[in-house]
Structure 1
Amino acid sequence: MEPKPPPRRWRLLRLLGIVLTALLVLFISGLLLGDRLTPKAIGAPSHALPLQDQQTLIDRALVPVLAEHPGQSGAIYLSEGLEAYAARSIITRQAGRSLDLQYYMWHDDMVGHLLAHDVYQAAERGVRVRLLLDDMNTQGLDPQMMALDKHPNIEIRLYNPFRNRDGLWRLLEMVQRAFSINHRMHNKAWIADGRVAIVGGRNIGEEYFDARPDVNFRDLDLLLAGPVAADASTVFDQFWNSDAVVPIAALQFSTDQQLGNFITQAERDARQQKALPYLQRVRARFDDAYLSERLALHWTADIHVHSDPPRKRGNADRADWLVTRLAEVLLGARHKSLLISPYFVPGAAGTKALVRQVQDGVQVGVVTNSLAANDVAAVHSGYMHYRRPLVAGGVQLHELRSHGHPEKASTFGSSGASLHTKAFVVDDRRGFVGSFNLDPRSAYLNTEMGVLFDDPVLAARLRQEYLRLAGPELSYWVYLDRDHELRWLDRTHTPAIALRTEPDTTWMQRATTRVISWLPLESQL
């Protein structure tokens, strides 16, 4: 008599057990082997090219102006998307020596193609181009990146790259290297001829430059000219030559056809109707006096670019971490501290520090995304724990209204927020603009960079940006009513309307966020 086959449910359970065991073995192997699983850095060292007085158009424009401002650097905010695009395009077209570009994301879209084509044209003129990208968001971009990398004047390197470039194997590698793959390079810098740098919050993609009707980020960069640009070049060299970075040519191969396809696509994008305002802005601004006169740079001595080290691990010495430097500035506030952060998860210690400042007589204000404006529900779930103690402690909390399609927000992704600016101003003098969110991920997992200054003029302009974002037209004021319940005040009405639930959200959004808040995810946010 033949034995009966096991019930179907037992077969499914056994299969599930095998899969889970395989994943566990995969994960443990990654935990034990650690960084030995990552591709090895094999790129030849290189460094920023020495400055010349008259070699390039940028040299000739800036050297006389720098002589009029000895020991100082020029700076100007780039808040409008069109202007931020034009600034990158123009300094790229005027570069004659080098372009060093460092970004977390470079999207495969119209803006990404147009700026990449500017970079390619610079290489055609003989400019040396070094492009450093974080590898987390490059899946599917290898053909375009390899097309550029094939040019003799262009080299592309990837930070903490995947060995497997796409498909299921890439996903399995993510599981195996769960701990090491979690460390990403969030830096953002565009450096031309070693004399001009754009540093701030923008990645390269349509939503960061107001080119998408459904998703537009409110963001901020600083264009820097003069000695401070050398700080950005030093940061770039540290990353470019670190053992966390691998040339893309060591991971993938290229063909002549890929380069031809890239040029064709870029030229096709330039003919799109939505590209017209961007190309027109470049043409309107482009002239020899763009840097020296048209931008009306503000000149100051106390301004510097700072960054985390390329390797940033929890057991390392944190003295040179950006979070240490920023905390020192913020905790030194004497009368005013105004913070702008799209992702705001201050933690218990940060909340306690901010409330203590209020008790010491410091005005503390925060602008962040509301749930409807936030594109990452998991981040809002971490932030919501601290909202009540912050407001109860006297912190002035403003949440940006929804602009776009919050129903498309993802749990962990990044595709729909209204606010993307990361900045603060302290005591109307000291300030910061960069890539650093006020959350655990920026503090302890990602590498970050930005501009720190001590200058009343730059501080006043940043304070104006804070007040604009915190104003009634753009934000709700969060407060506690007499029953100690959170309320959102809509000040666009007369009289103002107090809302009892998270504005502009559905019950499903609120429920999802609440459930996520119960999970132990805060250290990853």
Structure 2
Amino acid sequence: MSKPLPLWRRLLRGLAIVLALLVLLVLSGLLLADHLTPQARGETSHVLPVQPTQTRIDREVSALQAAHPGASGVAFLSDGLDAFAARAVITERAERSLDLQYYMWKDDLIGHLMARALHDAAERGVRVRILLDDMNAQDKDALMMALDTHPNIEIRLYNPFRNRNGPWRMVEMVQRFFSVNHRMHNKSWIADGRVAIVGGRNIGEEYFSARPDVNFRDLDLLVAGEAVGQANTVFDDYWNSEAAVPIAALAFHTRQELRLLMRESDNEARLESARPYLQEVAKSRQRAMASAAPLHWSANVRIVSDPPMKHRRDDPQNWLVSDLVQMLTASQHKALLISPYFVPGNEGLDGLTRLSERGVQVGVVTNSLAANDVVAVHGGYMTYRAPLLQAGVQLYELKAHGKAPSSGLFGSSGASLHTKAFVLDDRHGFVGSFNLDPRSAYLNTEMGVIFDDPVLAAQLTAEYLRLSSPQQSWWLALDPRDRVRWLEREPPPHWVDTEPDSSLRLRTSARVISWLPLESQL
């Protein structure tokens, strides 16, 4: 009778089997990725042609463009209420089409109110197309499928999972580890092909100041005029790409779900938490173009994006990161950057160092550890702080005001900063979805607005100065031993020698992650 194997050898054998299965899953995904993803393709469709006077928005924009030929009107939407009202009112005024693409649409008060607005537009005969990334959509199938039942609404998912929930979804995630890691991070809301809202906000309560426990700072631009044609082209390219699959091909739905969603939205509209948003919409109805601020018209505005198939066959020279790096390296005297997730990598560190050595003022506002909702990203960022400070880069980390929820290891609801923007030499700028990290550069698709205009640059600089102010941020410096420390500039001024307002557990997690080879995924 053979002697049983020691426990440690049995455990080692079991671990080897598990690892072998994981490797086989990943290899099968690499070999069969195109056959593992849903092959359903929706019918090709394009933006409906704009008309001079067909809709109210046509008439408003045509009159404004006649006074500013060849230009685009831009308004900053930094306040959550204003950003909600702008979307709601251009949706109310739309009479021809609504085209939306988002990374995340939450099943909450804001998500329901906006779903109701889209349903009401569809009831008026407006064609509604919604393209959503599928990474965060599995729990929202009921919400999205309910909307998709309307004959004037079609929803497609970008790079979707075949398995909608349960353990098989996790198996598919492992099997398609490399292909599923590429996500659509774009955010745009286009009405009648004439007005677009582009920026950093997803659709959810925390992005529109509707959650008292979250201190989000975010930014969108409302754009009317010439540049909106570029947003239309971007949307059509994504909508008709191989990566976009109709949600109807992935999940079952009924008309009853749509009726239940509309009843739930009506009930939520009566809640006290909804009142400020509906009141702001009522006030915004009196404003031209539903703008929260006067439109500034400029001939040098572009809406830009990564190609939809960035992760497969596209030339990296066509990626958005190439345009943004070219802009940054051309800076002559000032480069002010805002990024919630800031992991410059060695290449970015070298680039910012060279700028500083040329005498360019380089400043960065990002999240502190206590304010960051992704500890892993902070772990990737923290190793670059000392070299950046040694190079003369000015670093500011946003404070975590109040008692936000604890950050999760790879994501939670406690983030403070979500704005993604930069302003260069008091005239060039970018506002969009692009974080200054490897994921935005090489994995996700991103989009945004690029401008060359001193008035718009002044507005964006004011936002940077507000975020980097003593009331909002810590200022970072090195002590005589080149260790990072934080200056509280509000009275009484004092230095802090550890990550401010963070627990030992959080600091330990970030430090351990900084040692792991995860940077390319952050």
With the shorter chain as reference, the TM-score category is over 0.9
Q: How does 1:6-405 map to 2 (within 5 A)?
A: 15-287=14-286, 289-291=287-289, 295-313=293-311, 316-403=314-401, 405=403
Distance 1:294 1:81 in 2: 11
Q: Which residue of 1 aligns with 2:515?
A: 518
1:242 is displaced (CA, Å) by: 0.4
> How many positions carry a matched residue from both structures?
522
Structure 1: gaps (5+ residues): none
Partners of 2:75 and 2:292 within 8 A in 1: no
1:35 is displaced (CA, Å) by: 2.6
Alignment partner of 1:424: what SS?
Answer: strand
Alignment partner of 2:302: what SS?
Answer: strand
Q: Which residue of 2 aligns with 1:415?
A: 413
- Cα 1:128–1:485 shift into 2, 3 Å: same
Distance 1:141 1:244 in 2: 19
Alignment partner of 1:140: what SS?
Answer: helix
1:410 is displaced (CA, Å) by: 1.3
Q: TM-score, normalised by structure 1?
A: 0.96
Q: TM-score, normalised by structure 2?
A: 0.97
Distance 1:501 1:401 in 2: 14
Q: How does 1:485-500 map to 2 (within 5 A)?
A: 485-494=483-492, 496-500=493-497
Letter in 1 for 2:473: S
Letter in 1 for 2:521: Q
Between 1:31-40 and 1:404-413, the stretch displaced more is 404-413
Distance 2:186 2:235 in 1: 9
Partners of 1:402 and 1:418 within 8 A in 2: yes
Partners of 1:424 and 1:431 within 8 A in 2: yes
Partners of 1:404 and 1:418 within 8 A in 2: no
Partners of 1:314 and 1:444 within 8 A in 2: no
Distance 1:183 1:193 in 2: 30
Partners of 1:405 and 1:416 within 8 A in 2: no
Question: Is 2:443 aligned against 1:425?
Answer: no
1:483 is displaced (CA, Å) by: 2.5
Distance 1:52 1:302 in 2: 24
Between 1:115-124 and 1:224-233, the stretch displaced more is 224-233
Distance 1:140 1:363 in 2: 45
Alignment partner of 2:304: what SS?
Answer: strand
1:313 is displaced (CA, Å) by: 2.6
Alignment partner of 2:206: what SS?
Answer: helix
Alignment partner of 2:445: what SS?
Answer: coil
Question: Is 2:504 aligned against 1:507?
Answer: yes
1:216 is displaced (CA, Å) by: 3.1
Letter in 2 for 1:357: L
Distance 2:312 2:324 in 1: 18
1:7 is displaced (CA, Å) by: 7.1
Partners of 1:375 and 1:406 within 8 A in 2: no
1:144 is displaced (CA, Å) by: 1.4
1:4 is displaced (CA, Å) by: 8.0
- Cα 1:315–1:240 shift into 2, 3 Å: closer
Identity of aligned residues (%): 62
Detail structure 1 runs of 4+ shifted over 3 Å in the superposition: 2-21, 292-295, 404-407
Superposed CA deviations along residues 295-314 of structure 1, whole A, max 9, x for unmatched, are 42101010010000001138
Partners of 2:94 and 2:192 within 8 A in 1: yes
Distance 2:469 2:409 in 1: 28
- Cα 1:8–1:351 shift into 2, 3 Å: closer
Structure 2: gaps (5+ residues): none
